[in-house]
Amino acid sequence: MNSENATQESNNHTSQSARASNQPQQGADDSDFFQKLTKFLEDAPAEAILRDANILKHIQDGLLSIETSQNLQSLSVLRIWCRKLAVRLNMENDNRIVNKNNVKNPDKLRSIVAPYCLALADLCTQIFSKPELLPFACLTVRELLNVSKSAPNPQIIETVVSYTHIKNLRIPLLEIVALSSFPISGLPILDPEIAILHPDLHKKLIEISPEGNKNDVQLVLNYVSKIQAMNNNSIPFDRNLLPFCDFDKVFDNIPKDVLASHPDDEVRSAFYKKALENNYDVSQFVDSLITAGIFDKVVQKEASQILVQNLDSIIQAGLTPKQLACLQCLPVKSGSTIFKGISDAIDSSDEFNLICGWVRYLFSKDDWVRDQAISALTKLVGFEINFGIEDLGMKDSQAKQLIDQLKLPGNLSDFQEEGQTFVDIIYNKDQIDAARNVAAMKIAKKILDPYCNVRKLLPQLHQLPFAKFPLLLHAVAIRDGSLKIDTRERLIELMKAINTSNVSDLLPILARAVFQPLLYIEVDGSNLLRIPRYSQVEFQVPGCNGYYDPEFYKPIDRFPLEGVVKEWTQFKVVHKKPIKKENDLKIVTSLNMIDPSLSADFILQLDEDPYAPGVLMSSGTPGNVMYSILTASISAKKKTTNGIEICNKLLPQSPDLGLKLAQVETEFGGDVQMPEKINEYILDENLRRQALGFLVARIKQKQNLDGVDYEKIKPLFNEKLPTNVLRQLLTVFSELGRSEIGNQFIIQKDALAKSFAFHTAEMNEINPKAALACATDEREAICTRAAAVEFLVEYYSNHEVPEMILTMLFNNQSGENPLTFYLLRLLSIKAVRDSIPVYEDFVINYLNEKTSEIFCKAAIYSLEGFNIHKKEIFAAMEDLINLDEYTEPILYVLPTLSDETLGNFGPQMLFYVTDTFSAENIDIDLVLVCINRLLLLNIKFPVESMENILSMYKKFIDKQFVSYKLHHVMNQIFLQSDEAKSYALSHGFLDLILTEIKYVKDPTFRDIAYTTLSQFVYNYKNAQDRILKEWSAETLSELFISEKSTLHFFLCFVKGNEDAQKKFTEPKSSPLLDKLNGFIDTHTKQKEPLLLLELLANVLHSRSVRNKVYTSKNLIIKYYTQVKKYASKSNCKELLDGWLRVFITLTMYPDGIRNLNGDEDAKLSELLLYFITNEAVVKESRKFLILLRNLINDSIWESLKEDIKKQLLPHQIEIFQNLIIKAKDL
């Protein structure tokens, strides 16, 4: 049976009952017809309307009617129908209800209804001409097109576009346009409001725009993206884009001089205001401040204040010639702070600029300033100034001559060769003055001819004496802007040369010299003595030929669509306030339906404006008020806190709309009070759906149902309820858990109701059979079968599983749907899994990264404790553990697998498991357990994984935490792999473990660390040598205590390594050997006397240590004394064995035998007698025989043997002889 049959069967009961009672009949009046049609739609399938020509005709007639009321009724019905159709289409394509794999054409129903929806949408656009219905009609058209996934035809587009000029409706209208399947030009895709507030709509509009328009948008987006990155300080700043940035975000990250010298007025203005407010360091932008800011009308006020506040520090830091000249252009008053500061700046300049500064003030318009300048200059140059105030206003006739000639046409001429002759005459001192003057006049005339080429001659004339050739030098100064007077001597020469006869020539040259930093040089290189316009306030410059407006700031590069980019970057969200007394509540409500942004503003105002709730409640009836809140919440998809309060107050007055509002607010996370009359509302047939809808919403939000009287509403199950109501009621009763109510509806035909039944049915002996029958019935909806399997999962978790009977559940099951998910859950029960022969074949299909996460995890967890056979599953687990979402499930399952199963993994799995240390929020202990399990099976540890082990070890150490499991794993690794030891040694393991040992105070944890260190150094000379090199004798002495784990480490450290053994003679102040002997002397108080003796025996292999023992006074005697003490006791065999180890080591070397037998108080014969007289040693100790063998091989043996025999009794001599024979046979 295919999906269409299953879906149809689930709706048969609904459609039959609806048609029997509520279907509108032909002949009824329009109002009654639409009321009955609305009720009919509550439970009837949406496609039922399309099957009834009478219904369709009434709707069409209503849309075409001239009566607004009929239009509204048709639109209302169509909106209800759209919602029902959406649910129906979702069911048709819902994998929880039907199996898509068995559906030939899953969109068949949609393809049937699409033409009807498009035709109805076309009819709805004809209502656009009625302003009061336009919002409602617009919303209906959009819903008809969306539900059927239909593209509007050109007629609809044309009509809709013609109304987009209406601001309040522009967005919903454009949402209809955005559904177009063909390109449309002229769309507002460059509008920042649409792009920023409605990004999804903007994207759709771009898709249907012509290519050229798309390119424009992309260009704007690129600039906006770059500007946002600059705002976030994630890319270097671009000077050209500063005007579009958020100044508050970028100013602190950009050089201050860049901001102060930016050509954009807004940037400069914002910067100077912020600089003044925050008292920025003026040295960072002093040049822009002085040469531009104080004369810039946009920022002059702030710049001047900054200058005055920082004048002293600016002057102390020193000024450039141009900065000083600019400051002198400021109007000053006698005795003012600024003039004093400027005077100080002039006086602190070098000799040349000192004179220039005061000469500039000679041209001041203020008499008192000139007097100050004359006084200062007289002292500086030592002569009086030879020009007066009357000379300041002189005109430069020669410069005027050049300017006038430029206005007239002329012929180009070359004066280079002829002029050179005249230059030679001028410089020839043998020539009479008259000839030189004539030559000078001829050259001057040609220089002032703008069409005459004299460029090569000009530099040769720069150093002529001013007194002799004032006219010529005047001409040169005009024509050659490169003429500079830049030394004190040349400047004084010029000033001395000025007199009444040449003042008209030399005074303009002097003006050019001192104002040189401010002068404008013409394109052709000439210098007409044009000064900045701002300087004319303070100065009257003789010979000035006009003023220019300086270009203070280097311009920025412009780019296309600059204005659009500025709109985008400066766009600010302005929240509307639709809740006003003068606004019609019905109009606001209708606009809320179609404009989510307006709805969001409505909710924002309602929640934040303390007067808004009162204004809203006084704007209409309780029903209208709650309906306005309802539409706003649905449109904006958010709750409203004050809206909930209003709902709590007004719900009893209009329960129909109140319950709907309560449901919506609850669905969006709000907490609406449970109405006191909730049970009466449920029992009321007209309010039942709304009341149950509210309760279902509370259940979804995990809110309680306090106040619901289940016994009171339970009789409703005895009534013939519409299917949707039954579903709601079953959902409410599901809160009671499993009960007899669920048992009643297991045989229900409706798929969803039956699903609810399995969720609430009792765990008795009958229901599992019904669940199994349902789960295996392919005619049932997928959701119902899944609910049945879920029931079985819970049942068989606590009950015996029937053999083989569940296998049929897995027949022909594949893909991802609720049924297969719960089948995977069912397999997590070991008894079920063991009874399914096809288990591995089924589960392998879900163990891959292409499977949905929830299904893949269920498949992984089903492997828990299972004895896996298929190689594909092992490979899948190795792949999945590398994906973050599956790491933890794989780690959870691994330790539960049998040794036989784990043995099928190789080093690769160990590598993957250790690599999970880097995963976020991973259970470290679980990872270590997995590693340990794999190592115990002798799976080779990959050397490259030591990086992860050491990294995790370092993290523990950084937190001063000890992990027993990590140390256990490292022990396993070091026991197994020399390569891992080598890697650890070269990557700082010894430093890490030394750090840990030093900070660990707890003896148990310290023992853990020492155990790992012992395993690391055991039989690993490289590690032992590294300790010798990097750990000082003092460090080793500090570590050396008589604890078992510590002694075990030192045993592993010195074993077979003479350099390590020799370390026991250090440090000189307190050698380790002395500490060791001290521990042995107090062995009765030590926990590990045997380990102490074993360690002593090992270190005595070193000649240095033996010599230390020999030279230590009475140390050998002490050793003899210890042996004598224990030999006299019958229960000290282990201690005697320990001492035998010591003396065996000593007697292995000739120096040992000599020193053991060289003292009157310490004879070898006595030592051997101590051992021989102990019965346990004679009978059981192989070590004593080894000692004898060492002595037998030495030259002293014969004398030693005879000496011993003399002290033995006859029977002891026989025993001694037997021991000698055994020793020789070793």
Residue with tokens 């990959």: 942
> What is the four-CA torsion angle of 962, 966, 972, 977, rounded to 10 degrees?
-100
Q: Is 1043 helix (H, G, I), strand (E, B) or coil?
A: coil
Check pLDDT > 50 for residue 14.
no
Residue 1087 DSSP symbol: S
pLDDT at position 16: 38
Residue 728: in which H helix or E strand, if any?
helix 723-733
Pairing of strands 452-453, 531-532: unpaired
The secondary structure of 663-675 as a DSSP string is HHHHHTT--PPPP
pLDDT given at position 1066: 85
Q: Are 1010 and 1048 in contact (CB under 8 A)?
A: yes
Whether 237 has a pLDDT exceeding 70, the answer reads: yes
The top-scoring range by mean pLDDT among 665-674, 1036-1045, 1203-1212 is 665-674
> Residue 94 — pLDDT band, cuts 50, 70, 90?
low
The residue extents of the domains of the chain are 30-217, 242-374, 389-518, 575-673, 1112-1225
- What are the residues whose beta carbons fall under 8 Å from the beta carbon of 1017, sequence distance 6 or more? 1023, 1024, 1027, 1049, 1052, 1053
Segment 1098-1119 mean pLDDT: 87
Number of Cβ within a 10 Å radius of residue 843: 25
pLDDT band at 523 (very low <50, low <70, confident <90, very high): confident
Inform me whether the pLDDT recorded for 289 exceeds 90: yes
Tell how strand 413-414 and strand 531-532 pair up: unpaired
Q: Is the dihedral of CA 359, 365, 367, 368 positive or negative?
A: negative
Instruction: Enter the tokens of residue 650.
Output: 């007004």
Q: What is the mean pLDDT of residues 674-680?
A: 95
- Locus of tokens 């969109």: 107
**Does 384 have pLDDT greater than 90?**
no
What is residue 390's three-state secondary structure? helix
Asked if residue 771 lies in contact with residue 788, where contact means CB atoms within 8 angstroms, the answer is yes
pLDDT: which is higher, 146 or 1126: 146
**In angstroms, how far is CA 506 from the centroid of its own chain?**
71
Instruction: Please name which of 1073, 1056, 1067 lies closest in space to residue 1107, comparing C-alpha atoms.
Output: 1073
pLDDT reading at 1147 higher than 70:
yes
Q: Report the pLDDT averaged over residues 104-113.
A: 72
Q: Encode pLDDT of 935-990 as tens digits.
A: 999 999 999 999 999 999 999 998 888 888 999 999 999 999 999 999 999 999 99
Chain-centre distance for alpha carbon 630 = 37
Query: What is the tens place of the pLDDT at every residue in 716-727?
Result: 988 888 888 888
Is residue 685 packed enough to be buried (19+ CB in 10 Å), middle (13-18) or exposed (0-12)? exposed
pLDDT on residue 21: 40
pLDDT of residue 1203: 85
Q: Are strands 531-532 and 547-548 parallel, antiparallel or unpaired?
A: parallel
Q: What is the pLDDT of residue 2?
A: 36
What does the pLDDT read at residue 1163? 76
How does residue 751 score in pLDDT terms, banded at 50, 70 and 90?
A: confident
Q: 1161 Cβ partners below 8 Å, 6+ apart?
A: 1117, 1120
Task: Quote the CA–CA distance of 519 and 511 in Å, as a whole number.
Answer: 10
The pTM of the full predicted model, rounded to 2 decimals, is 0.61
% the chain with pLDDT above 70 = 94
Distance CA 407, CA 99 (A): 93
* Degrees, nearest 5: CA angle 325-328-330: 125
Residue with tokens 């206003």: 393
3-class state of residue 453 by DSSP: strand
pLDDT in the model for residue 572: 87
Residue in 96, 106, 19, 107 with CA at minimum distance from that of residue 752: 96
Strands, E, within 845-1004: which ranges? Answer: none
Collect all residues with Cβ–Cβ distance below 8 Å to 1012 and sequence separation of at least 6: 967, 970, 971, 974, 993
Q: How far apart are CA 701 and CA 697, in angstroms?
A: 6
User: What whole-number distance in Å separates Cα of residue 466 and Cα of residue 717?
Assistant: 122
Hey, what long-range contacts does 310-313 have (CB within 8 A, 24 or more apart)?
Answer: 310/282, 311/337, 311/338, 311/341, 312/341, 313/282, 313/283
pLDDT confidence of residue 1131: 76
- 452 has which bridge partners? 413
Q: Are 514 and 359 within 8 A, CB to CB?
A: yes
CA–CA dist 966, 924 (Å, integer): 9
For residue 178, what pLDDT band results from cuts at 50, 70 and 90? very high
What value does the mean pLDDT take over residues 1169-1195?
Answer: 82
Q: Is the peptide bond before 188 cis (omega within 30 degrees of 0)?
A: no
* DSSP assigned state of 452: E
Q: With bands split at pLDDT 50, 70 and 90, how would you rate the model's confidence at 51?
A: confident
The residue type at 744 = Q
Mean pLDDT score of the chain, rounded to an integer?
87
How many of the other CB atoms lie within 10 Å of CB of 1107? 13
Q: Is the model more confident about 739 or about 1031?
A: 1031
Stated length of the chain: 1226
- pLDDT tens for 1037-1074 read 889 988 899 999 999 999 989 999 998 988 777 788 88
The owner of tokens 């270097």 is 236
CA distance 1145 to 651: 99
How far from 427 is each of 418, 430, 832, 846, CA to CA, in Å? 15, 9, 121, 104
1083 DSSP assignment:
G
Sign of the four-CA dihedral 132, 136, 137, 138: positive
pLDDT over 70 at 12, yes or no: no
Q: Which residues pair with 539 in a beta bridge?
A: 364
> pLDDT-derived band of residue 50, with 50, 70 and 90 as boundaries?
confident
**Residue 879 scores a pLDDT above 80:** yes
Q: What is the pLDDT of residue 92?
A: 66
So what's the pLDDT on residue 22? 47
The 10s digit of each residue's pLDDT in 189-215 is 999 999 998 999 999 999 999 998 999
What Rg, from alpha-carbon coordinates, does the chain have?
Answer: 52
Q: Which runs of consecutive H residues, i.e. helices, occur in 428-561?
A: 433-447, 470-479, 488-497, 503-514
